[in-house]
Amino acid sequence: MTLHKEGIKLILGGLFLAALSIILNVLFLFENFPVLASIIVGLSLVILILIIQFFRIPKRNKSYEKNEIVCPADGKVVVIEETEETEYFKDRRIQVSIFMSPLNVHANYYPITGRLVYQKYHPGKFLVAWHPKSSTENERTTMVVKDDSGREVLIRQIAGAVARRICYYGEIDSSVEKGEELGFIKFGSRVDLFLPLDTNIDVNIGDNVKSRLSKIGILN
């Protein structure tokens, strides 16, 4: 396991605050208020542990089938439906949405290999990530990857009520690999996939999935 680069400053800040809390409590509280001091120190350490686990990146290795759509995020499948995609395709697509709780790994990955043909950041609201309008009204980034057969998959990172920063790394017209990191969303959020209507879907609503390991489906 490694720690994500987006969390280094927060982790260092958490270490500093935890150390400061312990020192101040030892100097001023432990002698007269040992219970209160223990609670404060305990909370400081719990917060530090939560920050560290949030930015963890577990080692995952897997070989992929050519037409396999790899899961882009850890979390729970909350939407599988045919819907109108209005930003890029402007037609009907299968939407698969994955909700990431604060306890999930929050790095995001490309689901297919191809060329990054579209990328756009949208400022917006911070509705809870499972809200039906979060896909079109929340802060979000949309990316589209086209494979060598001309099939396109849209990936949308969506901020939630707690998430306040979306990070994305790709450059337009660059080649991307299935399972390669595309970005990171801080503190609770959602990732939507918009897939061709003839895609074979291999997940169900309520499934807990893992990025770079779970198979979302097969492109036809």
CB 6 within 8 A of CB 168: no
Homologous superfamily in CATH for domain 68-218: Glucose Permease (Domain IIA) (2.70.70.10)
Given pLDDT bands bounded at 50, 70 and 90, which one contains residue 189? confident
CA 116 from centre of chain: 19
- Domain residue spans of the chain: 2-57, 68-218
Angstrom CA distances, 8 to 2, 41, 47, stand at 11, 22, 15
The single residue listed with the structure tokens 């950041």 is 121
Q: Please say if 134 is a catalytic residue.
A: no
Please give the average per-residue pLDDT across 176-200, as a whole number: 91
Higher confidence at residue 102 or residue 65?
65
Which of 21, 189, 211, 214 is the catalytic position? 189
Q: What is the pLDDT of residues 112-154, one digit of tens each?
A: 999 999 999 988 665 655 555 556 667 889 999 999 999 999 9
Per-residue pLDDT, 115: 98
